[in-house]
């Protein structure tokens, strides 16, 4: 089984529903459509998501089925429509917000960090805040420094948020459905470079539990490799390269960035004695910092080498294709890092 086949089949065994092959993009649209049919108080807002189906076509067909009242084309005003989502949630709706590029989360940061994330706490739990904020980010499509960030490091330190990052079509479908049903605010980070990725999706699944934390996609005994979003596929490809040299890498998809559950990763390190993390962010403030700190705290005596963090360099991503490709972590770099620790 190839790396792409492994990631496509991840997590489907426990779901009792017909599986249909579709893209990551189509899986997102299917989840939105099913949840909007399920609950008439579920609606979505964002820029260009109406008749055009969204800038990345993740809302294709929604406007035609649900109309302008529930598929709201907004002005270029993230602060306004993200703030409106809180008002809708407080009055009984389940709003979904699409942020065209994850980079634009900075525009509405105050609404998310100081209002949405804190409102249920400040009300003493008397109100619910069922808000989903979807943000499409990531490199690989030549969008340049201002439109290629995954942006999770900006919000990792905000209490009151759940942050999830689906790395394949089945996850994009199931995790989005779970997020929409949640009574707390959930930030769903999607990756532009995964939109055309194909996989088997359990369409019509009645159950859509939120994952509790990291998931082992490929067992191994020589090294633990933890990755997120588009880096998961590259970690699996690296594991294929290492296998050809007799090295078995255990690949873990982190899945949930907040709340962060590091214990399954520590358990893996207790077996493999090596830890490598792979994320598409600059080194400062990323999720891998917390993973490494917690693993060192929980499983220090089991480590045979210092943990290695593979990240983007500490400067903005360039627009030039050859430069972008050189800076984003590759299967070759991941494999070489694992070998250096062994």
Q: Domains in the chain, start-ordered, CATH in brackets?
A: 3-201 (3.40.50.970), 215-341 (3.40.50.920)
Q: Which of 93, 92, 101, 102 is nearest to 72 (CA)?
A: 93
Instruction: Give the tens place of pLDDT for each residue, 212-247.
Output: 999 999 999 999 999 999 999 999 999 999 999 999
Measured CA to CA, the distance from residue 323 to residue 327 in angstroms comes to: 6
Residue 108 pLDDT greater than 60, yes or no: yes
Catalytic residue, chosen from 78, 152, 190, 280, is 78
Tell me what pLDDT residue 15 has. 60
pLDDT average, residue stretch 32-54: 96
DSSP string, 113-162: IIIITTHHHHTTT-S----EEEEEE-SSS---TTS----HHHHTT-TT-E
pLDDT average, residue stretch 322-342: 96
Catalytic residue, chosen from 119, 147, 191, 200, is 147
Number of helices (H), then strands (E), in the chain: 13, 14
Measured at the CA of 36, the angle between CA 115 and CA 72, to 5 degrees, comes to 60
Burial of 204 (0-12, 13-18, 19+ CB in 10 A): exposed
Q: How confident is the model at residue 7 (pLDDT cuts 50, 70, 90)?
A: very low
Place of tokens 């399920």: 38
Instruction: Give the tens place of pLDDT for each residue, 278-295.
Output: 999 999 999 999 999 999
Other CB atoms within a 10 A radius of the CB of residue 338 amount to: 26
Q: How confident is the model at residue 2 (pLDDT cuts 50, 70, 90)?
A: low
Instruction: Give the tens place of pLDDT for each residue, 186-208.
Output: 999 999 999 999 999 999 988 88
Dig out the tokens for 327 from the structure.
């800076």
Tell me what pLDDT residue 4 has. 44
Measured CA to CA, the distance from residue 43 to residue 209 in angstroms comes to: 21
Answer yes or no: 200 catalytic: no
Answer yes or no: 206 catalytic: no
Q: How confident is the model at residue 141 (pLDDT cuts 50, 70, 90)?
A: confident
Measured CA to CA, the distance from residue 249 to residue 217 in angstroms comes to: 11
> Which residues, in sequence order, are bridge partners of residue 134?
98, 188
Q: Which of 255, 253, 88 is nearest to 188 (CA)?
A: 255
Other CB atoms within a 10 A radius of the CB of residue 129 amount to: 23
Please check whether residue 276 is in contact with residue 225, taking contact to mean a CB–CB distance below 8 angstroms: yes
- Supply the mean pLDDT for the chain: 93
Q: Look at the pTM and tell me if it is higher than 0.95.
A: no
């Amino acid at each position: 089984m190839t790396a792409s086949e492994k990631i496509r089949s991840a997590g489907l065994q426990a779901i009792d529903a017909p599986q249909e092959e579709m893209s990551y993009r189509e899986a997102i649209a299917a989840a939105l459509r099913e949840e909007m049919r399920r609950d008439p108080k579920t609606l979505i807002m964002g820029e260009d998501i109406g008749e055009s189906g969204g800038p990345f076509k993740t809302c294709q067909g929604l406007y035609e089925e649900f109309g302008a009242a529930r598929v709201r084309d907004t002005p270029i005003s993230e602060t306004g429509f993200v703030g409106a989502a809180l008002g809708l949630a407080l009055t009984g709706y389940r709003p979904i917000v699409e942020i065209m590029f994850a980079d634009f989360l900075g525009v509405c940061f105050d609404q998310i960090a100081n209002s949405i994330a804190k409102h249920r706490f400040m009300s003493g739990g008397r109100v619910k805040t069922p808000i989903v904020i979807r943000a499409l980010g990531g490199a690989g499509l030549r969008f340049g420094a201002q439109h290629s960030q995954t942006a999770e490091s900006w919000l990792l330190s905000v209490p009151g948020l759940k942050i999830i990052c689906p790395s394949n079509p089945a996850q994009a479908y199931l995790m989005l459905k779970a997020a929409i049903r949640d009574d707390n605010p959930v930030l769903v980070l999607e990756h532009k470079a995964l939109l055309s990725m194909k996989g088997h999706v359990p369409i019509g699944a009645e159950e859509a539990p939120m994952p509790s934390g990291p998931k082992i996609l490929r067992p191994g005994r020589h090294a633990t490799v933890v990755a997120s979003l588009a880096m998961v596929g590259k970690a699996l490809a690296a594991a294929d390269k290492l296998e050809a040299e007799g090295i078995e890498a255990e690949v873990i998809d982190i899945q949930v960035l907040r709340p962060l559950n590091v214990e399954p990763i520590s358990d893996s390190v207790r077996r493999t004695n090596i830890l490598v993390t792979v994320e598409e962010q600059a080194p400062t403030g990323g999720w891998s910092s917390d993973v490494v700190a917690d693993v060192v705290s929980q499983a220090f005596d089991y480590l045979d080498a210092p943990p290695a963090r593979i990240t983007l360099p500490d400067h903005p991503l360039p627009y030039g294709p050859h430069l972008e490709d050189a800076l984003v972590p590759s299967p070759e770099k991941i494999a070489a890092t694992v070998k250096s620790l062994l």
